[in-house]
Structure 1
Amino acid sequence: MQSFINTNLISLSTGVPATTFSRKQIMIAIYAAIVAFLTYTSVFAYRKPFTVATFDGLVFWGIRYQVLLIVSQGLGYMLSKFAGIRFISEMKRFGRWKTSAVLIGISWFSLLLFGLLPAPWGMLCLFVNGFMLGFMWGIVFSYVEGRRATDLIGSAMAVSFVFAGGFTRSVAVWLRDSWHVPEQWLAFGTGLVFAVPLIIFMYLMERIPDPDQQDIQERTVRVPMSKEARLQFLRTFGGGVLALTITYLFLTIMRDIRDNFMANLWNELGYGKKPAIFTQTETITSISILIMMSLLIIVRKNIRALKLIHWVILTGFLLSGISSLLFISGKISGALWMQLVGLGLYMGYIPFNSIFFERLIASFRIAGNVGFLIYLVDAWGYLGSSFVMLSKEIFKVNLTWTEFYPNSVIIFSVIGIAGTLYSWMYFSRKYNSMMNV
């Protein structure tokens, strides 16, 4: 069979060995989940807190400065995803902490320059910031992939950016309101608050033990992927990857707009003077998603888990679309809508960033790594997100965020449902055909 299929382990047809977790394995999983969660929460402090600043009155080239900053960072982040398709997939497992220190150091320095330089030069600073931070997800996830407990660990890490999106913004609002930090210094100041914790958590990440033999037997060994291995994967699974990329494209657009313009949405809904609203709503979503995703650890057969994840994503699209329809028709409040649409989006977004590709690789016994697939779909997702945000400004769409966003969610949810159903059918048939070879 294809060279990237790991035939030295167990074959597709033999199923998954029925092993249990030892006390040591449970403790390692819990430790890794907590450390991964805290690490990426701290990383997020260098990315999103600047969005609480609206920079009212600043307009360049007919576009609001806040939007230009968000798009500039998003473009940098998007380009890092394209670069990461190779960089992360070929990354060795040693020296990761040094790479992380350089990337975060440069991203933080760019926030210092952002505070010093006048508008619109902040766009360049945030472009650099986004490019550097775009590699961090793949680096951190490389510590925890390929384990029988990756569903739990990866879910904990993935929900960190749900929680962190609200928590780090709350810290930025606290700096603004309690310490009177100017808008252009909020990003650097929030990074300063998280600098020491991040150093500690990265050290603890390095202490996570490598996957053991049972992990490798059930989830395959994770190795760097050469260019030929990546091309071979795309030749074999091209139709499914295309469907996943389109599905994730619309998920990213919906999630990214909500994340970047959360402050604007809450302001329009009448909650702008309540900084705790960011943490309260996102914490509820985080806990709900963590429980939902980590339960997949009990589904030992990888292909069964992969199919189940498809239905979780499908349900998320339905929840987002229906709640938006109810909000537009006045059937539910704005606060409830924000909670439900966030939950629905992350029911799709979290699996793609943690366990979907983990189970895909394990199902088909692929000798590779999750980073390649995550960065492949992420690159196109952020490209689409930047395009939509710029389009609203360039084409002067005369809608508030609470008008523009729910209508967009309804349209994109329909497309996402179709893409998810196609992906489910594609990989089910592909698995059955490969089993019968």
Structure 2
Amino acid sequence: MSENINSHFLSNPDAEGYYGRFGGNYYPPELRSALQELANSHKELHKSPEFQATLDKVRVGLQGRPTPIHHLENISTQVGGAQIFVKREDLNHTGAHKINHCVGFALLAKRMGKKKLIAETGAGQHGVALATAAAYFGLECEVHMGEVDIKKQSSNVGRMQLLGARVVSVSTGQSALKDASDSAFHAYAEQHKHALYAIGSAIGPHPFPMIVRDFQGVVGREARKQFISMADGSLPDHVVACVAGGSNAMGIYTGFIDEPGVILHAVEPMGTSDKLGQHAATLSYGKPGTLHGAQSIMLQKDDGTPASVSSIASGLAYPGVGPEIAMLHEAGRLSIAGISDEEVVNTFYRMAKFEGIIPALESAHALAFAIRLAAQRPASERILVNLSGRGDKDVDYVLEKYKLDENGCVLAAA
């Protein structure tokens, strides 16, 4: 095992915010000073013992960290291959990993003298987490959400409003995550003097991908220590995370990225088919392009504009990936896999029935792949999955739209 697990992060991003050829800052010039202020504040405060002490206090008291690693003994036994373990980010307060960077952004905003947090959300988990952090730190909160997702995730909308957030309905484009991001970026451009954009994933112009990764790194650091402690000093053979923007993936990868013996798996939403517009598998089918202020890989139409996407998981219905994910993919550090909506629903039901855990549909992508992988690998190997969120938000939708037959197979959507 490497003694220094930070060598990757010492060189990425570079001074201009690039991860290899991806990243950078393609925001309007009038916002460059605001983003430079944010980068400088993060660099200074992230090294501050007082800032870290406050952040650690909130992580323990409000979030409930550290989250445990749990062995999926029942499903591992059923599969009969490699053993599957999960990092229980679903046990965070608000139900997902998103709270990790939301409390970080809120604390940054307070230290920078900002009065308001602005963000986008897809499945609603980021919106709820940000509204929670804003309430805790006494900040205003404005969350932009696609009209389609507002209807699909109504319980999370209610939670955001209960926590004091203003939810802005976005009806342009597909009325989904990409469009909510467009709307939130525009709102930040207008309000940047008194507001901070707390982006929902490791995307966007520098320094947003770096900030989200740094705050989410608590997942990987904890997981590394916990796994070594429970596995006689050894690391997992495989680390698995679902991927769209990349916040949960970069979080869990942090603890293992400099370990060449650990295979990092990025699991994408294959939706209903490999036809453009019916999936959101950017790493499998995307090309280099500029999206939301950064160079990365994106699903594109012939004219280079972002393509329509589809996924049962609102939080993965995004036509791009973060620049650091793009760099790792191009460097061959990631093993890429796709999971269909049908496989996701099967895993959603299977986890509930045999493990007593209802995972978020986003997390169920990673779990479905881990189950598939375990069947192909020997029992001596161990797979660690970032169970990034719980599925309370998805129960009504799944029960309404999908049923299982007597053999446990997904019936056609209602």
Bin of the TM-score, shorter chain as denominator length? under 0.3
Higher strand share: 2
TM-score (norm 1): 0.25
Higher helix share: 1
**Which has more radius of gyration?**
1
